[in-house]
Amino acid sequence: MSVQVAAEFLIEPFSEGRPGPHVKTAVEAVERAGLTVDVGPFGNVTTGEAATVLDAIADALTAALDHGATRVSLSIARLETSDT
């Protein structure tokens, strides 16, 4: 069974309701990996198989920094799974 994780990332500078290219390109990088991103006012969340999520987050970090991000906060949590 593969390890499932949730990744939450907040990209600054922050502009409520008007995400800049540093945010948009990061979200697009995660979506290109076939993952869904829940975009929120104080962070973005994606979940999936650990290897896929971690690779996608690496691409998102690069995209964010390449497009003007001044700071990225990241939290990764292992999700509990049932063996049934």
Band (84; pLDDT cuts 50, 70, 90): very low
Asked if 71 contacts 25 with a C-beta cutoff of 8 angstroms, the reply is no
Band (1; pLDDT cuts 50, 70, 90): low
Asked if 4 contacts 46 with a C-beta cutoff of 8 angstroms, the reply is no
Domain boundaries of the chain, sorted by first residue: 4-78
Band (83; pLDDT cuts 50, 70, 90): low
Fold topology of 4-78: Alpha-Beta Plaits (3.30.70)
Q: What is the C-alpha to C-alpha distance for residues 26 and 71, in angstroms, rounded to an integer?
A: 13
Report which of residues 5 and 13 the model is more confident about.
5
Identity of the residue numbered 56: A
Give per-residue pLDDT as tens, 14-25: 877 778 899 999
DSSP conformation class of 79: P
Identity of the residue numbered 23: V
Report which of residues 13 and 30 the model is more confident about.
30
Identity of the residue numbered 68: G
